[in-house]
Every structure is written in C-alpha cells, then in structure tokens.
Chains A and B, each alone.
Chain A
C-alpha cells in the first residue's frame, strides 16, 4: 500500500533501466518500496538496476524482458510483471522511450514508425492493460514519463516531440477517465535531462540531472498534482512556450 505521501511499497517500472527510472527507483526504495519489478530490453542493464534497488532497501526485485518495438507483447509483459509482484501494486511507472535521431529517422519509414511505436503505441497498449488491473484493485498510481517536448513540437525533433505529445494527450484523457476509481495517473514532464540517452547533445535551458527529476517525482507523488514538472518552474515557462506566435517559436526552438 502507498502511504499518505504517495510513497509506494510495490512498484513496477517499464523502461526500468533508463537513468531517470533508476534515479526514481533509488529514491522510492529509500522511502518505502520493498518490491520492485523492472522491465526493459537489456537483461544486463536491468540486473544492474535491480542490484541498485536492493542497495537502497528493496527486499524483492525481479526483471521482465520485452521489446517495445512490438506492441503485441504489451499485454503479456504487463501481466508477467504484475504477477511477479504477487501483491497489490501501488505504483506503475512507464519510462519507455526512444529519442532517435531526427535527421536519420525522418526519411526512413521504418525508423519513423519505430519511434512512434516505442514512444506511443507500446506505452498506450500497456496502459490499457494496467488501467483495468489497477481499477480492479481499487487503488494504485501510474506515472507516465512525458516530456516538456510534448508541449510544442519543434521541427528539428518533430518525431520525438510529436510522439511525446501524442502519449501526453492520451494520458491526459486517461487520467480524467480514472476519476473516482481509486487509481491516479500523473504525467511527468521533465526538461532536458543529462543521461546516457542524451549524451553528446547540446544542453538547452532548464537542463537537470536525473536525481533532480527523481526528487521532483517524490514531491509530485505527495502532492497528487496531475502533472509533475521538472524543474517545477516549467509549469509557468510551458505556458509561454504554448502561446508564443509560431514565427517566434520557430526561431527560439531552432536556435
């Protein structure tokens, strides 16, 4: 069961070996999490993340392998992960994502499709299964990794931004559909985060480390806010981004 601060005991994380997911897992384990199931595509990375979770206090960890380019496995992956918990599930984190390389991907049908599949189709398919299972429990929380990129699509990263925007909007509706079910969905919208996924990229304003994102997540779980911004000031900055006239936005975004 989660406590009054939204700190969970039993956690399932899809995309569990990403740097942000690992930073969040550490904080959750240092608080109340004792059972952590990590799902992802690399057994080695998941194993390392599981050991890290144990170091921070998890007493039961397990891993599930899946390939997010194939949404047909989403239902099975979710049920496998849930069964490994063997108890009520307090928090499900969807941290599945692919940044891609815009210049390479934009002219490739298969790469463009993969980017949408990994960032949107697989998570949405998984959420369909997660939603029903948590509603049956009468309680539970879902945290979906969106991005500040979802606020307004940039032409130099339109595949990634567009994909995150799609996931984000689906989740806004999904969150509303969960009212009075005992289940809560929160969106995490971080700015650029220094991780292995973004290494080498130029750092835009509001860049943070994964640890700072994790701290904002812990705060967000306690606050029950629908959207967790990281850093928190993005709540206001995003308002400006949203309302800039397009010519100005293109100049700012393409700098």
Chain B
C-alpha cells in the first residue's frame, strides 16, 4: 500500500491517501466490489480538495490514456486520463481544436467532465458537457455508456459533479474545425468596471471568445479597470503563413517554493499596474498565437509555487445577468479590504445546461487568485459568499477550498436531484472526496 500526500493546485489542506492506478474498467469495478471508498484524480488542477480523500483511495487515471482516430467530421474518443495538451498535440495538426478549454491545457478530459469546465467561449458554445456525444462511466453498480439520450439523468448528473457519480473512463467529443493555429484578437483597455461591463454586455455576442482581466486592487474612480480581449480563430485567408502545430511545452518553470510573503498587497499591486499598462489601449485583429491567447500561464510550469508554503485560494463565482451589480459590489469589497488579488478574470456566461451541479449559469463570472496570509481574507470571502448567494449566484466547486457547507444548498438548489441519481448508482456512498465531506455533498 503506498501512502501519498496530495493537495490541489492551491497547495492547501493536504491529505494522505492510498494511490492506485487503474488500467481499465475492470480494475475500477474490482475496487468497487471490494467496498473501497474512492475518488478519481487527473492532473490535480482543481484548486482545493476535490481530487483527494484522506484515509481513502485515490485513483490516478493517467493510465487511461488512449486517443482514438479523429473522424472526418471531428469526432474523437479519448481516455479520461488524456490531457487537453496531449489531445491538441494530436488534433491540431489535423485541423481540430477542443470545443471548450479552460485557461490551462494541463487538465485531463476526465477532470474536465468532473468540473464541467468552461472557457472564453461559454457565452456562445456552453461548457464542455455541451460537446460530449457520449462517455463511459464506471459506478459501484456497473459500467454505463452515457449520452444526452441514453441514461440522460446520469449523464447530466455526472457533469460538474466533481467525480461523485463514478469514474469516467472515456469520452467521445465533437471537436472544432480550425484552419490555422493563430487567433485574431481585439484588445481594449477600460478605465473602470462599468465601462468594461457595458462593452461586454453589448459586444460579446459578436465574438466567439471574450475575457476581461480586471484589476481588483485599485480603489476610487478607476476601480475595476480592465483589459478586454476578444477574438476568434484566424482563417487561412487571415494569415500569411498557414501553420497547424500543437502548442509548445513550457520552457520556464518555477524551481522552488517562493519565500513567504513574496506576493503581498504591494508586489501584487505593482504587477497589476505593469500588466494594465503593457496592454494596448485599443488594437484590432492582432495576430496572436493560440497558446498565448488561451494559455498565458501554461508558459510557466509550477507557477503555483510562487505563492509559497502557505499556498493560495482561488475564488470564482457567477451571478445571473440582472445581478451584474454584485460583481461591482464584490470588487468594491475586495479593493477596500486591501486583500492582495491578482488580475481577476471576468467573463460572460451563456445559458446553463441541464446538469444539476454544473457551475455556469447565464450571467457574469469572476475568478480571483488570493494568496493565503492576510488575516482579513477568510471573513472577506465569507462576506462575498453572502453577496453571491443573495444574488442567486454560486461558487465553483473546482476552485473551492473554503466555502461554508450551509451555503451550498442555496447556491446549488438542485443538490437533492443530484443526490437521488447518485444514490441509485452508489448506494453505499463509496464515491466521496474531501471536498464532498467538507461541503456535505454526499453521505459521510
């Protein structure tokens, strides 16, 4: 038995678990019939405690690594342990991009399903679930082939459920056709939050991809100043030289844990200032590589070590369209509390999908990286939860490491519906995680 200490990308609350590496569905079924309590794990990019189970078994799914042929219409079946990075290395030279990608390529497809990941195109294309044609799920009562039409309740209950309905082993995905590995990007600097939100409300529909980087530390008239970047894939006609190559590997890596307090309100403020000033005021149809547009942080390996021994938390919430004021209130509260927060990511979400636990709902989402160390941070975030819950919004499980259990029911009103489906396929609550226990998502 090998005991391993695991934590999420935020490097907080580590747990010691027994790690096992299944090679096929049979291996997973055997775990279930032995009565094992377990959770699946991919590349550990959830920020909190979603992919760990202290004292239990964690299935490292990286060996479920097959990538099938890509059909003429862009359909591919991949193992749950395949990362977006590995898939793109194969698919991009053939002219196919993933239909939805989070801000890092270093997530597995299984993890992408567990979090029902979204990207800069959610307002147009929805989350990853909207592009999954079918998938295999191994549960304590057997293996299923799920699709929106076959066992649809289990299919949707699995999306965004952080691995708590079973272990996904393979996914059949509809890819997106691209002609080049370039993007055409429009950039605008906005001096305050109101202006960038108005621009996004009015103009996002014209772009497939849209995201704003917001400075949450500047107070006063320029509170929430932002850089808005929007674009789409460049066609062959748009570029001088057509190239289709997979993204390059990270060249830089943070070699060791940073000393305590490297990221504090002054250094972060200075960084935010530089970032804001380095963006053009207004730029149209700029050619950018796909990597720098989608994965700016993937250029630096292990960047989470910058936050030092104490680690960091990410806070991401969404609120419905008509509750845009909540975004303003949150940024106001943060900037007043002087909690250090890196450039936050602001996005618009399109309609939610039928999943009971999927995070996105039509409206606004804001994500923030916050170093642990400020005394005010725990209570500031508790206050933000209240604002978000009152606005009928929610916090993203994949990022969470500190939410109150009693807020979950308000934020995810369809939790009962999910639990009903889960107890059908997992009658003895074998599928659980530290996150599930902390937030009372399932039986203890």
Give the B-binding residues of A (Cβ under 8 A): 1-7, 9, 31-32, 34, 87-88, 135-139, 180-182, 219, 222-224
Contact = CB atoms under 8 A, between A and B. Distances in A.
A4 B48 contact: yes
Per DSSP, are chain B's interface residues mostly helix, strand or loop, or mixed? loop
Contacts of B10: 4
Given A223-B310, A223-B373, A7 B378 contact: yes
A7 B12 CA distance: 12
Interface stretch (B49-57, B70-78, B292-300): B49-57
Contact of A9 (B15, B49, B373, B438): B438
B269 to A, nearest CB: 22
A35 to B, nearest CB: 11
Given A181-B16, A222-B310, A5 B54 contact: no
A138 B372 contact: no
20 contacts: A1-B434, A1-B435, A1-B437, A3-B13, A4-B13, A4-B311, A4-B313, A6-B13, A7-B378, A9-B438, A88-B437, A135-B16, A136-B55, A138-B17, A139-B13, A180-B5, A180-B16, A182-B5, A222-B372, A222-B378
B401 interface: yes
Which of A1, A9, A88, A135 has its CB near the most chain B CB atoms (within 10 A)?
A1
B378 A31 contact: yes
A142 B444 CA distance: 22
B438 A5 contact: no
A31 B438 CA distance: 13
B245 to A, nearest CB: 38
A139 B55 contact: yes
Given A7-B402, A138-B54, A139-B55, 20 more contacts: A1-B49, A1-B54, A1-B434, A1-B437, A3-B13, A4-B311, A4-B372, A5-B402, A6-B13, A9-B438, A32-B404, A88-B54, A88-B55, A88-B437, A88-B444, A139-B434, A180-B5, A219-B375, A222-B372, A223-B373
Contacts of B12: 3-5
Contacts of A135: 16
Contacts of B377: 5
B14 interface: yes
A135 B3 CA distance: 11
A138 B13 contact: no
Contacts of B3: 138, 180
Nearest to B374: A222
A87 B438 CA distance: 11
Question: Which 7 residue pairs across A and B have the least CB separation, nearest first?
Answer: A182-B16, A4-B401, A139-B54, A138-B54, A138-B55, A1-B438, A4-B12
B270 to A, nearest CB: 24
Contacts, number: 79
B309 interface: yes
A6 B437 CA distance: 15
Contacts of B404: 32
Contact of A182 (B14, B309, B403): B14
Contact of B444 (A87, A138, A180): A87
A41 B252 CA distance: 59
Contacts of B15: 138-139, 182
Nearest to A5: B378
Interface string B262-300: 000000000000000000000000000000000000000
Contacts of A87: 444
A137 B55 contact: yes
Contacts of A4: 10, 12-13, 48, 311, 313, 372, 401-402
A4 B399 CA distance: 11
B438 A3 contact: yes
Contacts of B17: 138
Nearest to B18: A138
Nearest to A183: B16
Contacts of A219: 375
A5 B3 CA distance: 24
Contacts of A3: 12-13, 401-403, 438
Nearest to A7: B378
A129 B157 CA distance: 41
Contacts of B375: 219
Contacts of A9: 405, 438
Contacts of B435: 1
A138 B38 CA distance: 14
Contacts of A31: 378
Nearest to A6: B13
A156 B16 CA distance: 45
Contacts of A138: 3, 15-17, 54-56
Contacts of A137: 54-55
Nearest to A32: B404
Contacts of A181: 16
A123 B308 CA distance: 33
Nearest to B6: A182
Contact of A224 (B310, B378, B403, B437): B310
A182 B54 contact: yes
Contacts of A6: 13
A6 B13 CA distance: 7
Contacts of B437: 1, 88
A31 B48 CA distance: 18
Interface string B404-430: 110000000000000000000000000
A4 B435 CA distance: 11
B441 to A, nearest CB: 11
Nearest to B17: A138
A137 B17 CA distance: 9
Contacts of B16: 135, 138-139, 180-182
A34 B444 CA distance: 14
A3 B403 CA distance: 8
B367 to A, nearest CB: 16
Contacts of B5: 180, 182
Contacts of A223: 310, 372-373
